[in-house]
Amino acid sequence: MPKMKTKSGAKKRFKLTGTGEIEEEERLQAPHPHEEGDQAQTSLTKTSLVHDRDKKGIILLLK
């Protein structure tokens, strides 16, 4: 049987921390993000932890 591949989109968006939490980057929520100012774009590219009820699905995507 062939190996199961991970979802490459999930690999790029989520990271596992050392404590087992899942970290994601907040993305700019605008129709035309290139028209936003640099300060607005920088403030929305911080990392945050994924909510507990979303963890199970994301872990399945990363395996």
Whether 37 is covered by a domain: the verdict is: yes
Residue 19 lies in a domain: yes
pLDDT in tens, 8-61: 888 888 898 999 899 988 766 666 666 667 777 676 677 888 999 999 998 888
Confidence tier at 7 by pLDDT (50, 70, 90): confident
Q: Is the pLDDT of residue 1 over 80?
A: no
Question: What is the separation of C-alpha 17 from the centre of its chain, rounded to a whole number of angstroms?
Answer: 12
- Residue 35 has, within 13 A of its CA and on its CB side, a CA count of 4
The answer to whether residue 3 sits within a structural domain is no
Q: Is the pTM of this model over 0.75?
A: no
Q: Report yes or no on 49 lying in a domain.
A: yes
What would the DSSP string read from start to end of 11-60?
HHHEEE-TTS-EEEE----SSSGGGS-HHHHHHT--EEEPPHHHHHHHHH
Residue 1 lies in a domain: no
Domain holding 28, by residue range, is 8-62
Cα dihedral sign, 7-8-11-13: negative
